Structure 1
């Protein structure tokens, strides 16, 4: 069942920052990937800057929020974020390792939630983040556990894909090589903006 939201009922961005970053460490990373510097700022801060600039309400889920669980995964983090935002009018689930995410992508997904129950941004055919969920998904999101994230919820809903011109929605810093690539892309964007 789809519970239609009004355009003025903005969803809450749940920023997921509770992961262990095992792939990043296995690739040679020497610290927490979210604290790794990207153009002088931690990866996580780039994500939070975009979220703040969007004007959407938001909630950060950190390891301290899931520390009481045995071997928590992304599903547990999502459930924790939904439980912590009982007045939310929907949710945008955004991993904190997407430092190039654009404000426009957050807003496009948020606006599409006024017409659709589940929304994902799509960049050149690739499904990205954040994934938007309407109010009708609250119970299912609240019961998520383990490392599968919200795949089970996606499998039971028609997913609306909104086209975006934002490689930042698919470029997650899971390895040191991707961190280097993100640094280059961010420098290119800054040079382009500075030169125009």
Structure 2
């Protein structure tokens, strides 16, 4: 099965900027931008990585080495997913991941991909909580390409049988939306 990781990095980072002034994906964590950590783990999974970003985000573009960029003007999560999936029509499955989850491990991407070999939808579950990334077989591509707004794929997941993959990787749950999230993460390094 040929699977691509679609990494969403087209958001405006409004919540983070309100308290900090800059984009959360460019915030420094352990000497590197948050997005660089996320990219390194995604690439280490061995799957192709497609990064959805806005055309004007030149600082983010500078981090995109050995990945395929896809541009999305709106920046809404729904449109970002739709654009990313639209660039993956020659794949059997996609794994949707968020750029602001720097601790999500390559092994977690691989575990979701392995589940996609047997189930049409796969999602990690950590400590009883559903996490990211979320995997979709090709049969869901048309619905994913219709997404709009900032809601993500919840409407596609609703009323579907999801294969939950039990994992211990807290990186599947921890994202960075606010400056306090980044401070909290830094204090535990």
What TM-score do the two structures reach when normalised by structure 2? 0.88
Q: Which runs of 5+ in 2 are unaligned?
A: 56-70
- For residue 118 of structure 2, what is the aligned residue in structure 1? 115
Alignment of structure 1 residues 26-41 onto 2, 5 Å: 26=18, 28-41=19-32
The 8 Å contact of residues 100 and 182 in structure 1, kept in 2 or not, is answered as no
- For residue 96 of structure 2, what is the aligned residue in structure 1? 93
- For residue 47 of structure 1, what is the aligned residue in structure 2? 38
- For residue 165 of structure 1, what is the aligned residue in structure 2? 168
The 8 Å contact of residues 10 and 110 in structure 1, kept in 2 or not, is answered as no
The 8 Å contact of residues 95 and 135 in structure 2, kept in 1 or not, is answered as yes
What TM-score do the two structures reach when normalised by structure 1? 0.85
The 8 Å contact of residues 36 and 43 in structure 1, kept in 2 or not, is answered as yes
CA distance in structure 1 between the aligned counterparts of 2:172 and 2:104, rounded to whole angstroms: 5
- For residue 108 of structure 2, what is the aligned residue in structure 1? 105
CA distance in structure 2 between the aligned counterparts of 1:116 and 1:11, rounded to whole angstroms: 13
- For residue 184 of structure 1, what is the aligned residue in structure 2? 187
CA distance in structure 1 between the aligned counterparts of 2:8 and 2:154, rounded to whole angstroms: 15
Per the TM alignment, residue 140 of structure 1 is displaced from its structure 2 partner at its CA by: 0.3
| Structure with the largest fraction of helix | 1
- Pick the aligned partner of 2:131 from 118, 121, 128: 128
- Pick the aligned partner of 2:4 from 6, 12, 21: 12
The 8 Å contact of residues 144 and 153 in structure 2, kept in 1 or not, is answered as yes
Per the TM alignment, residue 177 of structure 1 is displaced from its structure 2 partner at its CA by: 1.3
CA distance in structure 2 between the aligned counterparts of 1:177 and 1:80, rounded to whole angstroms: 30
- Pick the aligned partner of 1:66 from 64, 69, 72: 72
In the comparison of the two structures, how many residue pairs are matched?
174
Structure number with greater Rg is: 1
